[in-house]
Structure 1
Amino acid sequence: MPQHDTDLHIAGDGPDEIPDPARIEMAAIGESLRAGWSDFMRAPAFGLFFSAFYVAGGLVLLTVAAASGQEWWLMPFVVGFPLIAPFAAVGLYEVSRRIEFGKPLIWREVMGTVFAQKDRQLPSMAMVILLLFMFWVFVAHTTFALFMGVSALTNITSSADALLQGRGLVMLVVGTIIGAGFAAVLFSFTVVGLPLLMDREVDFITAIITSVRSVALNPAVLLCWAALIAVTLFLGILPLFLGLFVALPVLGHASWHMYRHLMPDAEIR
């Protein structure tokens, strides 16, 4: 891959050309994970820093829910966590990009690059992600009420048995299918869309379209990649969110390398 200037575009430079997505093999998953682990080991402080925000947020939610005796209300947020996890990767993309091109990992420069995104297209993508996440929470609670009844919304905290029989099981199946649909849509938007917005001067609609095209070209590989991300994040959440200190940075760095597989001719700006 030719070497390019790794500085960010200045807003107003004009849109970049977008190369066609590449067709990739299953081996790209292993290669991306190995590269992600290598980047995390190379700069662990950055990974721990960016993931700390999500760990802290999860612990705050858990504390509030437990204090109010409404732990079950936390479930839609936990299940929907993979929907907003890509935000943690934004700073990690910059770290991986600098490692890739041998640039120094200076905190001021890395954070400056992240904050500079406010003047580009990333906030628009952020709104799409947050709106989908909030809609998912609303749909999850509505699904619960439809199957279990309004009274169960207050009584469920005393026993989980209602979720493991009859309508509870049906509700869990339906809710899982709906949640998977939300996750699939958002994954299709962001797997290439987010790193592309970091890498090139493009509008967020173009980034989303390019990302969906990449998924359509590699459905089997990216389905496995999405499933791996979801399972890893879920396992990271289980030990009081603490597993995210490793899961998020490794997956964040790996996502950058997966982007490189999908857009091999993309230039780092």
Structure 2
Amino acid sequence: MGPNDIVEPYESPRARHLPPATVFQWLRKGWQTLIVDPVPSLIYGVGVFLVSVVVVWTVFTFGYDYILFPALAGFMVVAPFLAIGLYEKARLTDAGERATLAKMLFVRPASGAQVLFIGVLLMLLMATWMRAAVIVYEIFFGVRPFPGLDHIAPILFGTPTGWAMLVTGCVIGGLFAAFSFAIAVISIPMLLDQRLDAFTAMGTSIATAWNNMPVMIAWGFVALCAFLISILTAGAAMIVLFPIIGHATWYVYQDMK
């Protein structure tokens, strides 16, 4: 957005009274968008999968295995920004245009660089969460070397201290995830679609999530399930699930705006 650009007025969000089952409609629309020329969407999913593989490889190669779990969980924080190309395909498909891979990779949001502000904010939130996770570990187990992934499971699941750390970590991680979800679930598609500033978009996203909490909680649960399935399949399911969730999020925005 340039200094002389006019910011479009945006009506305050209100409750849409959508039932939690609406998430199935969004998923169906996400799937329908995927199968309209599926190759660009699947290549996009492969790209995100390869990024996750590189992250895991880096963690093990350079001895940072103690941040593996926080890094995997942190993916949920930055995922809304990584999916911007998938929102673009859904937007173009709705407009009757063909979405090429180039258009998905080189998105030109209506708001210009405002969307980058949210991307940077999400990355800072991810970095803060990873540091917080290390601090939680040190609070319960002290400042000592990480025992390694092959020894950590018995410690976490076989001792009271381990369970206490798991509960604390899940609560803190949940707060980070909920905050990032609230500020990004509507704001990034909105900035793609309209000429708004980042703060207006984030404020609208938070208010929309708050005023439509049941269906937003249901959608967050769907995203969490997709993430867990991806983890259980060593990331392979992400190739398909990430595009579906990304496309579907565009329709979340459409129904909420």
TM-score computed with the length of structure 1 as normaliser = 0.87
Distance 1:183 1:139 in 2: 13
Equivalent residue in structure 1 for 2:117, among 124, 130, 134: 124
Equivalent residue in structure 2 for 1:218, among 201, 205, 212: 212
Aligned to 1:25: 19
Distance 1:38 1:91 in 2: 16
Kept in 2: contact 1:189–1:211 (CA 8 A): yes
Structure 2 letter corresponding to 1:154: F
Is the counterpart of residue 80 in structure 1 residue 74 in structure 2? yes
Aligned to 1:240: 234
SS of match in other structure, 1:102:
coil
The alpha carbon displacement at 1:119 in A equals 4.0
Distance 2:110 2:231 in 1: 28
Distance 1:85 1:110 in 2: 15
SS of match in other structure, 2:146:
helix
SS of match in other structure, 1:155:
coil
Is the counterpart of residue 103 in structure 1 residue 103 in structure 2? no
Equivalent residue in structure 2 for 1:49, among 35, 43, 49: 43
Range with bigger deviation, 77-86 or 17-26: 17-26
TM-score computed with the length of structure 2 as normaliser = 0.91
Is the counterpart of residue 252 in structure 1 residue 223 in structure 2? no
Structure 2 letter corresponding to 1:254: A
Structure 1 letter corresponding to 2:10: I
Distance 2:108 2:44 in 1: 13
The alpha carbon displacement at 1:134 in A equals 0.4
The alpha carbon displacement at 1:35 in A equals 0.1
Structure 1 letter corresponding to 2:201: A
Structure 2 letter corresponding to 1:250: I
Q: Please give the root-mean-square deviation of Cα atoms over the aligned residues, in Å.
A: 2.1
Q: 1:75 to 1:106 in 2, by over 3 A?
A: closer
Is the counterpart of residue 195 in structure 1 residue 195 in structure 2? no
Distance 2:167 2:93 in 1: 43
User: 1:61-95 deviations in whole A, cap 9, x for unaligned?
Assistant: 22233345653431101122111111232011111
The alpha carbon displacement at 1:162 in A equals 0.9
Is the counterpart of residue 174 in structure 1 residue 168 in structure 2? yes
Is the counterpart of residue 138 in structure 1 residue 120 in structure 2? no
Aligned to 1:59: 53
Range with bigger deviation, 40-49 or 169-178: 40-49
Structure 2 letter corresponding to 1:177: V
| Gap regions ≥5 residues in structure 2 | none
SS of match in other structure, 1:214:
helix
Q: 1:111 to 1:79 in 2, by over 3 A?
A: closer
